[in-house]
Structure 1
Amino acid sequence: MSRNRLGLGHGNFVNNLRSNAVRELDRRNVEEEKTVDVEGATVNKVEKIHWYIKDNAKLHHTAKFDQIHDPTNPKPVLRRGQTFYVAIRLKDRDFDLEVDLYIPACAPVGVWRLSIRSGLQDRSQGRIMDVYNDDTDLYILFNPWCKDDLVYMEGEADREEYVMNDKGKVYVGAYRTPRGRPWAFGQFDDVVLPVACYILELSRHPHSERGNPVQVVRAVSAGVNNIDEEGILVGRWDGEYSDGTAPFKWTGSVRILEEYVKNGFTPVRYGQCWVFSALATTICRALGIPCRSVTNFVSAHDTNSSLTIDKFFDKDGNEIEGGPDGDNWDSVWNFHVWNDVWMARPDLPPGYGGWQAIDSTPQEESDHKMQCGPASLEAIRRGDISLGFDCPFVFAEVNADVMHWVEDENSDWGYSRMKIKKYQIGRLVLTRAPGEEDDYGESDQLSLLESYKNPEGSAAERLAIHNAIRGSRRAQQYYEYNKDVTEDVTFDLTEIDKTFSDEPRTISAALTARSVFYTGVHHSIIKKAEGKLTLDPQTEQDVALTIDYDEYWKHLQEHCMIKIYAICRVQETGQTWTDEDDFQVEKPKLNITAPESIERGEECSLDFSFENPLDETLTECQLSIDGSGLLRPKEINIGESVGPKAEFSYSFVFRPRIHGKRKVIVNFNSKQLFEISGSKSIEVLKPSV
């Protein structure tokens, strides 16, 4: 026996002794408190409490949550940093009590239970203690109305937009023609709060840290994607979605979250960056954190922490995939969508609070997980990338320089820099403007470019770049390499090619049109043209590539992006020039006819229509319909096809659920033509009787 105790099992034996001793001591103390009494001294026990759920919800700005209005099992939804009221019914005496309870402004957010202990005030008369445990789930949220809460936001219009608004837009497309994609955030729907609290549990952050918005939004950025913790959504970017739902078919967050719950919290297939961002908006707003969806057009994805986007070419101008070391897979996305969240940052130097960037799209690991942020926008604008939480990655997304490298046997590294483009990345940063709503156009967009970066070419912008370079050894290496090549021919892909040389120049030129995914990944070559031309001194010449409908349509992927690549080489000087540009094929808009207003519960008819622009029949037609407070999200399979150049029309009938200004969001998809979307605002009135 003694040998076993001193062997490998000795530690377990000691731990069992300790735990048993503590457990027995606690048991005896509890039993003693229950039995020790002085004659005539009794404890009045709690029999029941009344929550005043709807009254408290009005005071706490939570009256829109479905949990408040559940006819069978309503639940309190409260914000920290203020009081709430309960009524307590006592069992042994005819005495009821109304009390107000205060939730500290630093309390952890999530699901709570209320316990009430009653005992004798004069402990000399006895130590009897009764504990009443209420079985009602109580949701406690952040409070942007409370000055003591780290997420406090001063402006009422901003709180209305970034916390209370359950509909909006997520911007997609090309930077010259951005398009606001309508989205139903639906943060007050009954499925949202339970899932929000669930993904906080997935994060395994201690409950004591869940009062800190920095840790909570970082957990949200990890939990919205599925990579590390079986979170909500699976990402896919290759165009193959046959075993799930194509990302462009989603119109709101609630249907995704319902599918997640119904399938036993199995990650939902599939999403892309704008869907991840929309979901993160829903979760953050539900938890009380001011949040907005942000789109960066021409967005850099820096894979090797150089703060640059690097492309490597051999002597013949062919791109070297992966770079010289095989670790460079930098890319430039046509657009990328993430989120800004609002909070004070007492963990950072003064001046770095306010909007912070988080990103739920799984791109690069941070602290061994697919999570990103919160990165201070002020730190990004200044180039202070050492302030942590993925500032270098976000800085590169909006402000990286693009560098082209060519093989050079005279270089110690083996490559020399033939080009640096300082102003290509981060061309436009958009969100929806607070209080604005445009169902038919893009007048409700708000530019955030100046929040992320100083004006291109300004001294402050270059200072931010140099400030960031000082914080990255890899960036310092890349910026050291220069080239010494005579450049007497200038090129521009969007304007006219010009020569300012005093001598003739022979130029080899190649133009290629490719179908691309919005991430910049090539799908297929649509058309290519090559040739040589001779330019006399001080002359200019146009080079054009014409693509017909029959040549490009079958190649298009979601977002219908086409990228033009140009590469030219001057035979006499060895000068090489490359450039690229992209554009988006426009699609028709879905027309929606609906009444301007209707009473809650009254039958409402919606009519959808558009004209098929193609010379072929649309088959496998579907409609996705969403609208927070109007109806549960639905996907409808349309039995009929739509002929070439024919008009599609469909009617749908429903009964609005909740009064207020609402918006229906609809998306049409077929095998041949997809993401024909539209939205329509409807005022839902309270019943007149």
Structure 2
Amino acid sequence: MDEFKVRTIDLQQVQNQTRHRTDGLSSSTLVLRRGQAFTVTVNYDGRPFDSLKEQPIFRIDSGPLYVEAPVSESRHPSLTQWTAVLEKCIVNPTGHRALSVSLSSPASAPIGAYTLQLRVHTRLSVITYFLGHVTLLCNPWCPADSVFLQSEDLRTEYVMSDIGLLFKGSTGNIVPQSWSFDQYEKGILDICMKLLQLSPQHQADMGKDLLNRSSPVYIGRVISAMVNCNDDKGLLMGKWSGDYKDGVNPSKWSGSADILRMWAETQFRPVKYGQCWVFAAVMCTVMRALGIPTRVVTNFNSAHDTDGNMMIEEYYNEMGEKLSMSRDSICKGELQVFQELQVLDPTPQERSAGMFRCGPAAVKAIYEQRVDAQYDVPFVYAEVNADVCTIIIRNGKVLSTSIDKRRVGALISTKRPGSMSMQNITSEYKTEEERCCGSLAGVAGRSVTCHSQPQNAMFMDSRGVEVSLQLLKAPVVGENISFNVIITNNDAAVKLLKKHVNAQNKEYNRNPTGSFWESHDDMKIGPKETVTIKHEISFKEYMLKETAEDSLVNLAVVIEDVKSQERVLASEEFNIRTPSLNIQIQNEVSVTINTPQVATVIFTNPFSFAVRGELTVSGSGLLEEKAQMRITIQPRETTKKPVSFTPRMAGAKMLSANLVLENPPTILHGFKTINVQAS
């Protein structure tokens, strides 16, 4: 009878990827999850398979490392090593024969690119067959995998979902912005794998790096460093002020695919530019693509404590103008969280073990204030818990000072699973005592009172006069900013006061620039009297001079008691949000895969002058290419722009629209979620 001879080998790509929940991921390889069996069919000619005469051995290569898995008839695959189990022998109607073999990787297998080969030993020969390439991912569905998530709803949200919401602005004026993670877009998984291959760890010691990739902690630290470009051939270059003419304004990004592709297409030169939320959102894409459950977290008023004293110093002059004297900063920080709540922050701020990265730091350790725990727990703890010391100075001398325990980490939020709404997760990071001390989230008009201090008594509690600020409504571009200054005289005597109010633009993640509006008055206040003074800053006075979004303003008031020279200060940092774009879907309840649909982007010009700009509409799984058009809108006019799309994936999808205006130079956003039905 003819010798056993392999004819073809079928990796069963469609069936295997469906079972491994990787069928939506685009790659040039078979994409699998570790710790789970997959089927290979070996078609052969000749006599029936006899395990005593033929010995098939699968070889799995990754760089300099390899393992071999002889085909066994045992029904108990190993949980700790690669195994190959003969499932059945098949005789096709054509007379051809086949072996169905179940291969399994251990749940701790390093993730990455593998090559599969089959070597068949027979009585007369040893022949090796090349099967193809495999990309192996983490497996949150496998209880033995360290990234396992019990909840199917959370796996759907934090691994499978490619739509997200980022929260920007300030606690009193929160702005949700859509983000498309794009992990299913063409070529994105392969580019994410390239981040691992180009990492300094892989370049220095390929074998060690490949072995270490069994650990999601290790993977997280590598990716945290590779998302920024400060130490390596990383993905993004950060920029927080100035013009962005030699790159892309961070506010224009709406998804990760454009950034990842630009990096790959330019031979891995860093993409210009990113800011906190961009770094975080792109990292979320990479981690979800690798199979590690991840969410984007916004920490409003995130502290960057450069000197490690858990204190953020802010300096003002006696006229209420904030000064750029401290390297500490209070920015809007976005954190990354994955399995068992570990914090990663890819924004380049401080070095961790010699590289610009942060985490993974256990949220439990942050909550329990265990600042000796790995990795970078003290840094993250300061981001959500640092005190703010506000100091008024004149000619280098301290006039007054105060400590504010309320501002930093006032609100920590993320997208609610299964919903396009915000979830407050502050309680996961901070104890009840810390939150009671510190959180005034969502309350407009938070004030800090500073008191004059004798030369040798820095924290004397003198409260002859109190002052606070109150925003009358959430500021919107095109409208006046209205606010009250509320002054209370606690003494039983008339007081003569000097009032200094100052508004400054605040660069993202940095100190304020020069004042764009100020008001100075002398006034008299009666005993035990409270006075409310209304101010308005007109649109012309604050209109942006360069393209910006959710512009930040630092508003401060200093009240000076003429007689005692006591000074009190109140400050409020807030954003000026842009008007929103509205998206409507024709036949919204019956959107079906592969069926053409029409969306309409609607915008009413709120300004008293014509505006022009470029409208861009995108949607992963909905539009093959972005729809772009130039538009001009007359004062108070409503424009309606139709966009045709054909869904190519079922499930929750999202259309995003950006309108970049030239005058005023700002960016408007809108989004619409769509539930695409299977055909």
Q: Same fold (TM over 0.5)?
A: yes
The answer to whether 1:445 aligns with 2:422 is yes
Superposition pairs for residues 395-414 of structure 1, below 5 Å?
395-405=381-391
Question: Of residues 598, 611, 634 in structure 2, which corresponds to 1:605?
Answer: 598
Question: Of residues 330, 336, 343 in structure 2, which corresponds to 1:332?
Answer: 330
CA contact (8 A) 1:416 1:483 kept: no
Considering fraction of residues, name the structure with more strand.
2
Instruction: Pick closer, same or farther for the CA change 1:589–1:315 going to 2, 3 Å.
Output: closer
Equivalent position SS for 2:314? strand
1:175 maps to 171
Whole-Å Cα distance in 1 between the matches of residues 184 and 506 of structure 2?
37
Question: Of residues 217, 223, 237 in structure 1, which corresponds to 2:240?
Answer: 237
The answer to whether 1:153 aligns with 2:149 is yes
Question: Of residues 306, 311, 315 in structure 2, which corresponds to 1:308?
Answer: 311
The answer to whether 1:517 aligns with 2:507 is yes
CA contact (8 A) 2:221 2:359 kept: yes
Counterpart residue identity of residue 103, structure 1: S
Whole-Å Cα distance in 2 between the matches of residues 613 and 209 of structure 1?
55
The answer to whether 1:483 aligns with 2:459 is yes
1:87 maps to 41
**Contiguous gaps of at least 5 residues in structure 1:** 1-39, 68-72, 323-327, 343-353, 438-443, 463-479
Q: What RMSD over aligned residues (CA atoms) do the two structures have, in Å?
A: 3.0
Question: Of residues 299, 302, 313 in structure 1, which corresponds to 2:302?
Answer: 299
The answer to whether 1:359 aligns with 2:342 is no
Whole-Å Cα distance in 1 between the matches of residues 672 and 321 of structure 2?
49
Considering fraction of residues, name the structure with more helix.
1
Question: Of residues 616, 634, 644 in structure 2, which corresponds to 1:643?
Answer: 634
Q: CA deviation at 1:161?
A: 0.7
Q: CA deviation at 1:209?
A: 0.7
Counterpart residue identity of residue 109, structure 1: I
Whole-Å Cα distance in 2 between the matches of residues 138 and 581 of structure 1?
54
Which is worse superposed, 236-245 or 450-459? 450-459
Whole-Å Cα distance in 2 between the matches of residues 163 and 261 of structure 1?
23
1:552 maps to 542
1:24 maps to none
Whole-Å Cα distance in 2 between the matches of residues 319 and 660 of structure 1?
49
Equivalent position SS for 2:135? strand
Counterpart residue identity of residue 219, structure 1: V
Instruction: Pick closer, same or farther for the CA change 1:210–1:43 going to 2, 3 Å.
Output: farther
Q: CA deviation at 1:518?
A: 3.8
Any idea what the Cα deviations from partners look like across 1:390-417, whole Å, max 9, x if unmatched?
21121111111101346799xxx99798
CA contact (8 A) 1:626 1:666 kept: yes
Q: CA deviation at 1:245?
A: 2.0
Whole-Å Cα distance in 1 between the matches of residues 354 and 3 of structure 2?
53
Whole-Å Cα distance in 2 between the matches of residues 48 and 481 of structure 1?
86
Superposition pairs for residues 32-51 of structure 1, below 5 Å?
46=6, 48-51=8-11
Equivalent position SS for 1:501? coil
Any idea what the Cα deviations from partners look like across 1:442-491, whole Å, max 9, x if unmatched?
xx2111110111235579989xxxxxxxxxxxxxxxxx995336443333
Whole-Å Cα distance in 2 between the matches of residues 569 and 428 of structure 1?
32
Whole-Å Cα distance in 1 between the matches of residues 549 and 110 of structure 2?
41
Whole-Å Cα distance in 1 between the matches of residues 545 and 661 of structure 2?
16
Any idea what the Cα deviations from partners look like across 1:522-541, whole Å, max 9, x if unmatched?
24422111233343432222
Q: CA deviation at 1:587?
A: 3.0
Equivalent position SS for 1:264? coil
Equivalent position SS for 1:632? coil
1:676 maps to 668
CA contact (8 A) 1:622 1:635 kept: no
Counterpart residue identity of residue 591, structure 1: N
CA contact (8 A) 1:251 1:624 kept: no
Instruction: Pick closer, same or farther for the CA change 1:319–1:599 going to 2, 3 Å.
Output: closer
Q: CA deviation at 1:667?
A: 1.3
CA contact (8 A) 2:489 2:528 kept: yes
Equivalent position SS for 1:304? coil
CA contact (8 A) 1:666 1:678 kept: yes
Question: Of residues 607, 622, 625 in structure 2, which corresponds to 1:614?
Answer: 607
Instruction: Pick closer, same or farther for the CA change 1:249–1:407 going to 2, 3 Å.
Output: closer
Percentage of identical aligned residues: 30
Equivalent position SS for 1:289? coil
Counterpart residue identity of residue 509, structure 1: K
Instruction: Pick closer, same or farther for the CA change 1:602–1:314 going to 2, 3 Å.
Output: closer
Equivalent position SS for 2:120? strand
CA contact (8 A) 2:502 2:519 kept: yes
Q: CA deviation at 1:129?
A: 4.8
CA contact (8 A) 2:118 2:129 kept: yes
Instruction: Pick closer, same or farther for the CA change 1:559–1:460 going to 2, 3 Å.
Output: closer
Q: CA deviation at 1:658?
A: 2.3
CA contact (8 A) 1:43 1:118 kept: no
CA contact (8 A) 1:241 1:270 kept: yes
Whole-Å Cα distance in 2 between the matches of residues 447 and 682 of structure 1?
24
Question: Of residues 361, 364, 369 in structure 2, which corresponds to 1:375?
Answer: 361
CA contact (8 A) 1:43 1:129 kept: no
Whole-Å Cα distance in 2 between the matches of residues 171 and 422 of structure 1?
23
Instruction: Pick closer, same or farther for the CA change 1:414–1:65 going to 2, 3 Å.
Output: same
**Contiguous gaps of at least 5 residues in structure 2:** 50-97, 202-208, 440-455, 471-484
Instruction: Pick closer, same or farther for the CA change 1:594–1:215 going to 2, 3 Å.
Output: same
Any idea what the Cα deviations from partners look like across 1:644-668, whole Å, max 9, x if unmatched?
2222232222332223332211111
CA contact (8 A) 1:45 1:130 kept: no
Instruction: Pick closer, same or farther for the CA change 1:606–1:524 going to 2, 3 Å.
Output: farther
